[in-house]
Amino acid sequence: MKKFIFVLAACCSIHLSAMQADTTAKDTSYWKHGGVVGFNFTQATFTNWAAGGVNSVSGQAYFNAFLNYKHDHTTLDNTLDMTYGLLQQGKSAMMRKTDDRFEITSKYGRYAFKKVWYYSALLSFKTQFQPGYNYINDTTRTLISDLMSPAYAMLAIGLDYKPNDKFTVFTAPLTARYLFVMNQDLADVGAFGVDKAVYDASGNVITPGKNLRMEYGGYFRAQYRADVMKNVNLNTKLELFSNYLDRPQNIDVNAEILLTMKVNKYISANVNLQAIYDNDVNVAVDKNNDGVIDGVGPRLQFRQVLGIGFAAKF
């Protein structure tokens, strides 16, 4: 925990230094900001429908924003991504979560060489808002995630390649990543890679599961954000992490694509794709949907969301 406090203090120091950089420059043209806030809604109703169907209502709210600074030898890039969605299907008493995300990232850079390379430090934090469940049926569910379970905090130091405002490649050979699982029930079963609890012969907990897992390794992040055509914005990101202390050959992967298409002033459509592979995260699979888990282990996780609704770009 002392190591975490030290890293957190270092992160705060870096962030404050970045915000205080070039205090004599009052020209707001050095700052660039933007983002999108919106709500997608889907509803389906069936009455005497011969082919069959289940009534459903779903909604998803999202907020994505960035605030960047560049002047002389200093850059500061900040992003905030929040998404939450719910689904009500049929007469089920339980609403199901379809999306849940909170992520904030801040990257500070000082000019290094050749006009496009910067010495940089990146600080990020990600978690979710609400508990997540595996639904056995309409009345039975099991908890698989929660607020701060998991949560990831990371500090990375390295070089950033920024040829323009649209594209950046950040390589950090010195990276500390902290995984938090604060829900003790999840920690006791070793969820998301923390050390699980030790039990006696009667099933009583001798040593509780760990709430913190510390990893030190190398980190790579490439991001591209631009209007690829009129009223169409593409935001894509690739993240790679290798833990030097534990099976460094197993690379954690996070790849995301967000395509936002503006129909008119108020209506938009968006496609969100995300693929994750983490060797420390075991995923339970029920291949024939009989309520019996057929296998548990690390697997490629994939998420796809297509939404049409109201959005405001700023």
pLDDT given for residue 4 in this prediction: 45
pLDDT given for residue 5 in this prediction: 43
pLDDT given for residue 279 in this prediction: 87
Would you give the end-to-end CA distance of the chain in angstroms? 40
Q: What is the total count of domains within the chain?
A: 1
pLDDT given for residue 105 in this prediction: 95
User: C-alpha 171: how far from its chain's center?
Assistant: 19
Residue 173 lies in a domain: yes
Q: 247 with 220: CB under 8 angstroms?
A: no
Which domain, by its residues, includes 196?
2-22+48-313
pLDDT given for residue 27 in this prediction: 67
pLDDT given for residue 260 in this prediction: 87
pLDDT given for residue 24 in this prediction: 42
pLDDT given for residue 6 in this prediction: 46
pLDDT given for residue 305 in this prediction: 85
Listed as ranges, residues in the chain with pLDDT below 50 are 1-14, 16-18, 20-25
Q: Of 109, 121, 107, which Cα lies nearest the Cα of 22? A: 109
Residue 206 lies in a domain: yes
pLDDT given for residue 134 in this prediction: 85
pLDDT given for residue 205 in this prediction: 92
Residue 217 lies in a domain: yes
CA angle 83, 84, 85 (to 5 degrees): 130
Q: Of 314, 312, 306, 298, which Cα lies nearest the Cα of 41? A: 306
pLDDT in tens, 60-77: 999 999 999 988 889 999
What CATH number is given to the structural domain containing 191?
2.40.230
Share above pLDDT 70 across residues of the chain, in percent, rounded to a whole number: 88
Residue 39 lies in a domain: no
Q: How does the average pLDDT of the chain come out, rounded?
A: 86
Residue 6 lies in a domain: yes
pLDDT given for residue 289 in this prediction: 66
Residue 38 lies in a domain: no
Determine the Cα–Cα distance for residues 177 and 234; give it in Å rounded to an integer. Answer: 28
pLDDT given for residue 21 in this prediction: 47
pLDDT given for residue 277 in this prediction: 94
Residue 306 lies in a domain: yes
Q: What are phi and psi of 225, to 5 degrees?
A: -135, 125
pLDDT given for residue 84 in this prediction: 95
pLDDT in tens, 37-57: 889 988 888 877 776 778 888
Q: 211 with 187: CB under 8 angstroms?
A: yes
Residue 137 lies in a domain: yes
Q: 155 with 174: CB under 8 angstroms?
A: no
